[in-house]
Every structure is written in C-alpha cells, then in structure tokens.
A and B are shown apart, each in its own frame.
Chain A
C-alpha cells in the first residue's frame, strides 16, 4: 500500500509569512492528492483536490502543487486563523490513505 509522508511535523510561523509544507507518496500517484485543514476541536475541511484545485470557498492564499510523488501546500500571507493541522490524502484509488499531518502554529 502507498504510504503518505508529511514534513515537517510542526512549524511555527508569523502572521504575514509564507509557509510551505510537504507530502511525499511512496509511489507515483499522479495528481491524485487532496489537502485538508483541521482546527482544534473541529472536523476537517477540504482545501485542495487533484493536487492543485482549490475547493469551493477556499481562500486563494492556499495553493497546492506537485505531481507524481512530491507535493506541496503553500499558504501565502498566513493569517492567525490558519493555525491548524494539515493533512494530505491519496485520492481516486483505494486505499484513500492520509498522511500523518503537519501542525502549523502561529507565533
């Protein structure tokens, strides 16, 4: 089965900075990756699908990229409300495996 590895495990960023987090698939998954945001005490929210397609209503400061095995989620001009865990997920083919997550803290 494909393993999704996210890095770093955590990061601390100031408001207004740009941040990039990574997701690596153990096998080529094409562009079949989704990204989610989960704030403390809340359910996850879909941000990105097909690696770079922003879901409805997601602010354009969230940008996804990558293809094959290496993927990124970039947040431009981070806001305080972006403090959360971020998870990548393999989509399109089962198993729909999640990565272990990256915790984003705001200084």
Chain B
C-alpha cells in the first residue's frame, strides 16, 4: 500500500525557516517524481514544487522561487521541502504527492499524504 507521511510542520515566525519531510513507502520511491502542494485555510489547492525521480530537475511556482528548495533522499525514500524567509501568505497545509509520469512529463498526482500544517505568524 502506498503511504506518504508528512512531518515537520508547526508555528514559525515570519522570516524564519522550516523544513518539511515526507516519508514514502509501498512503492519504489526512486522511480517517481514527487511534488509539494499546499492549501491555505478554506482556500483551494496551490502547486508549490516538483522534483524529478533522480533529483536532477526541479520546478517551482514563482512566489516561492529563491525561498523554497525541494530535494529528496532516495536511499531514505524521503522527500523534503526547505522553506526559508517564510511569509504569512505561506500559511497552509502542505501535502506531498506522487507524480504520474507519461511520455516526457508529469500528468497528475496520484497519491497524496494527509498533509502537515504550517503557520507563519508572530
């Protein structure tokens, strides 16, 4: 059974850093691209970042470029999101998700974790 379990969330002050982790099991982690998607309270889904199966390619939404870094450790089957210079507008539940690959790119996210809450506030 595919499982994705996020951790590392919490309350953090604006301008500070936080690192999220996503432990994967039930599939060959090193064969899949992975992503982070967030959802602010009572709002819709917002794609944050995607990383290729081997970590060689990364993609970010404009509002987090230069502040967030997606990475992975295939030996540990773990996905990470390093979040620096956090802002109040980064407050959200952060989901990790497995990416479906087809003919050269990502065509959806087929398994999702339960999410971890990040609150940026003084």
Contact = CB atoms under 8 A, between A and B. Distances in A.
Interface of A: 1, 32, 34, 36, 38, 43-46, 49-50, 55, 85, 87, 89, 91-101
Contacts of B46: 98
B59 A55 contact: no
A73 B44 CA distance: 17
A46 B44 contact: no
Nearest to A96: B47
Interface residues of B, number: 23
A91 B112 contact: no
B55 interface: no
A101 B45 contact: yes
A98 B47 CA distance: 7
Give the secondary structure class of A's interface: loop
Interface of B: 35, 37, 44-47, 50, 59, 61-62, 95, 100, 102, 105-110, 112-115
A34 B115 CA distance: 21
Contacts of B95: 43-44
User: Which of A36, A43, A55, A98 is most buried by chain B, counting CB atoms within 10 A of its CB?
Assistant: A43
5 contacts: A36-B45, A91-B108, A92-B107, A96-B106, A99-B44
Nearest to A93: B105
B100 A95 contact: no
B47 A55 contact: no
A91 B45 CA distance: 14
